[in-house]
Amino acid sequence: MIGNKTGKLGEDIAALFLERRGFHVKYRNYWKPYGEIDLICEKAGKLHFIEVKTVSCLPAGTAHENYHAEQNVHRYKLKRLGRVIQSFLMKREYKDMDWQFDICVVTIDNQQKKAKVKLIENELLPE
């Protein structure tokens, strides 16, 4: 389990990573009573709804070595995120925009003070 401090750091790293790749971060932590989207970005006229998963890793050879944080975006979470996305798309200025759902995994190596970022694009949301 990561703390709020680690999660916030992961979101900051993800936002910087995305901005360096041409994304414009429009909203952070867009909240509705039934869920929250970590980042809403725009790139090339398309909206990207991004769930950030942060892992604070241990040295090689530990149990976390084969852990994939994106697996924590389970079906129930995806349904809630889908509801938040649909409510966001009801806004007049975004109604006709193309969009996709992405997952950004940030792995933080506390010992070496480094982070590795992986963007998994165009994930499917359950109907």
pLDDT digits (tens, 9 = 90+) for 91-120: 888 888 999 999 999 988 877 788 889 999
Structural domain of residue 110, as residue ranges? 4-123
Q: Which residues contact 15 (CB under 8 A, 6 or more apart)?
A: 25, 28, 39
Q: Looking at residues 47-55, what average pLDDT do you find?
A: 93
Q: Are 121 and 105 in contact (CB under 8 A)?
A: no
Which pTM value belongs to this model? 0.85
Q: What share of the chain is helix, strand, coil (3-state, %, to 5)?
A: 35, 40, 25
* Cα separation values, 68 from 57, 58, 59, 71, Å: 11, 14, 15, 6
Total domain count for the chain?
1
CA dihedral (90, 33, 108, 72) in degrees, to 10, reads -90
Q: What is the CATH number of the domain that holds 51?
A: 3.40.1350.10
More confident of the two residues 73 and 93: 93
